[in-house]
Amino acid sequence: MRQAVASLLLLPVIAVALPIARKLQDDDPPTCPPPNFDSVAGFNLARYISAPWFSIQQVPLIYQPSDELFCVRATYVPINPSDLSEGIHVFNEARAGSTSGERIGVSPSSSMPSQLLAFPDDLPEAQANASTAQSKLRVGVRELGFLYRTPVEPSEVSLPVIPGLPEIADIIPSFLQPLIPPEVNNFLANILEVVPTIISLIPSLIIGAVSRGGGQQPMMTPGNATSSLDTLFGVLVGLIPDEVIDFLQRAFFGPYWVVAISDDYQWAIISGGPPNVESGGLCTTGTLGINNVGFWLFHRNPTPPAEVVQQMRNRATELGYDVSVLQPVEQAGCEYTQSTPA
């Protein structure tokens, strides 16, 4: 009898507690990025960059605010089509204010070289899952592309005979030499070792720069000066510890992940790395800064059917993205530059 009475007394408490518990559960923030989130598997990078992409919807960013979401197009041109690890020129173009507004960005037909380079992401975290590694890139300014040069041993370069080059013992007084850590001593020795390499490359660098008319051509196109520059960068990169190279790549090259793509490579969803910011009960990428930001819906057609756009949005939601942050890009009536370099 007492148990029955106690149960009856607890009913109102339970009736009040259950909705509160459900509300608390509903208010739990999502886990961002979602568990087991990754870019797409079985990705074909050559097929992906084979034609331009048009931004259909995207998140406004510091470097591309809402008033520049007109005629946004991305074109990717490999430095060496037979080896994409050498880098890919990134040509981004758009218009400001309207579809007939001022053209901004750089196009392949411009006299200006591409300002950005993309490289397959070879950082350890990107290579952790071999099946998805191909759909991860790093994008950064072309001037720092040397961070992705293949290290070159000075012994692999034909060096001139330069008599009288100093040794470590000639530079550092003997009474200080015991105080120098071995790693510093080795680094200085390596620097001295590459001096002949640098000297041997200077003539071809000068000749190549003059033949290019003052450097008007893209920095990393084939040519005498460029191959010499690559060799020089390769030698210098070989002197830098791997941990430092990894740090610099993370700092200056932002992640570019293809997180969804249609079977026919007609549409794609791009993310600036995993979506690690809570938004509207789901997740998104950041919007501040340059790296680890951005969320785009791409299509080969500048004006795809509405049902295809909805399909992309649905897929993004399934992946855990908050699509309410996306803004449409006006593409109707746009005039675009050539899709390949002039």
Enter the pTM of the model.
0.73
Clarify whether residues 62 and 116 are in a common domain.
yes
Quick one: average pLDDT of 96-112? Answer: 81
Number of CB atoms found within 10 A of residue 197's CB: 22
The rounded distance, in Å, linking the Cα atoms of 55 and 70 is 9
Clarify whether residues 133 and 174 are in a common domain.
no
- Last residue of one domain, picked from the residues 209, 225, 245: 245
Tell me what percent of the residues of the chain surpass a pLDDT of 90: 49
Mean residue pLDDT across the chain: 78
- Is position 35 within any domain? no
Quick one: average pLDDT of 142-165? Answer: 64
- Last residue of one domain, picked from the residues 245, 268, 295: 245
- Is position 199 within any domain? yes
> Per this entry, what is the length of the chain?
342
Clarify whether residues 230 and 288 are in a common domain.
no
- Is position 108 within any domain? yes
- Is position 59 within any domain? yes
Quick one: average pLDDT of 82-91? Answer: 93
Q: What is the CATH number of the domain that holds 134?
A: 2.40.128.20
Torsions phi, psi for 46 (to 5 deg): -60, -40
Q: Comparing 65-69, 152-156, 209-213, 332-336, which segment has the lowest mean pLDDT?
A: 209-213
Tell me what percent of the residues of the chain surpass a pLDDT of 70: 62
- Is position 217 within any domain? yes
Tell me which of 222 and 139 has the higher pLDDT: 139
Under 8 Å between Cβ of 297 and 312: yes
Q: Comparing 60-69, 190-199, 227-236, 275-284, which segment has the lowest mean pLDDT?
A: 190-199
- Give strand pairing partners of 58: 296, 327
Query: How many structural domains is the chain composed of?
Result: 2
- Is position 40 within any domain? no
The rounded distance, in Å, linking the Cα atoms of 338 and 342 is 8
For residue 108, give its domain range: 45-143+255-328
Under 8 Å between Cβ of 147 and 260: no
Clarify whether residues 54 and 130 are in a common domain.
yes
Tell me which of 257 and 112 has the higher pLDDT: 257
Amino acid letter, 157: V
Q: With 60 as the cut, is the pLDDT of residue 96 above it?
A: yes
Which sign, positive or negative, has the C-alpha torsion 331, 335, 338, 342?
negative
- Is position 6 within any domain? no
- Last residue of one domain, picked from the residues 245, 267, 288: 245
- Is position 215 within any domain? yes
Q: With 90 as the cut, is the pLDDT of residue 65 above it?
A: yes
The rounded distance, in Å, linking the Cα atoms of 118 and 138 is 5
Clarify whether residues 264 and 136 are in a common domain.
yes
Q: With 80 as the cut, is the pLDDT of residue 152 above it?
A: no
Under 8 Å between Cβ of 106 and 92: yes
Clarify whether residues 228 and 268 are in a common domain.
no
The pLDDT of residue 126 is 92
- Give strand pairing partners of 112: none
The pLDDT of residue 198 is 54
The pLDDT of residue 316 is 98
Reported as a single tens digit per residue, the pLDDT across 185-194 is: 666 666 555 5
